[in-house]
Amino acid sequence: MAFADTLVAHGDAEVVLVDRRHRPGGHRLDAYSFVRLDQPSAYYGVLDETLVPTGRARFLGMHDYRGGNVAVSLLDGSETMIRARRRVVDATYVQSEIPARHDPPFAVEAGVTLIAPKALVDLAEPADRFTIVGAGKTACDTCVWPLEQGVDPDSIRWIRGRDPWQFNRALNSH
């Protein structure tokens, strides 16, 4: 989205974005519904609010790019021909792996309920405590979401690594 925004804002390009998902947001739409704290998320509204009104951008949601300038609707199979005035940028090779969609690479003790962050919104029974394992953006979101739902902060434990992106280097003298 940022690439398309730059092309339209700083040139005369016309852009057609083809996406398998129903709306902009990329793989984050597959991850969990309460996604936030994501720098690229600032670009999710850019399509409808900034790019489309220029008349130089179109979004083909629920479509699959099949090469040869053809996008196929995942809903009805219809084909849309995309006329490339200059170049086609095929970004299908950058498919993301979302950790929340895979089994964890560690053993889980018997009697422990393990759920992916995406399943938090579908809890069937209340939990008496939460332990979030991870140090990335998803872990940050997963810590914040229960707090926003009124969960007692003392019932949340966060186990995280010492990832360098989490430290403010200006405050760290080492």
Q: State residue 104's pLDDT score.
A: 75
CA distance 69 to 63: 12
* pLDDT top residue among 70 and 117: 70
Q: What's the rounded mean pLDDT across residues 82-109?
A: 77
Q: Which of 58-67, 69-78, 132-141 has the lowest mean pLDDT?
A: 132-141
Contacts 24+ apart (CB under 8 A), 155-161: 155/127, 155/128, 155/129, 155/130, 156/129, 156/130, 156/131, 156/132, 157/129, 157/130, 157/131, 157/132, 158/131, 158/132, 159/131, 159/132, 159/133, 159/134, 160/133, 160/134, 160/135, 161/135
pLDDT band at 26 (very low <50, low <70, confident <90, very high): low
Tell whether the model's pLDDT for residue 114 goes beyond 80. Answer: yes
Tell whether the model's pLDDT for residue 136 goes beyond 80. Answer: no
Tell whether the model's pLDDT for residue 77 goes beyond 60. Answer: yes
Confidence (pTM): 0.59
Cα-atom radius of gyration of the chain, to the nearest Å?
20
Spans of all domains in the chain: 2-89, 99-164
The neighbour count for residue 90, using CB atoms within 10 Å, is: 10
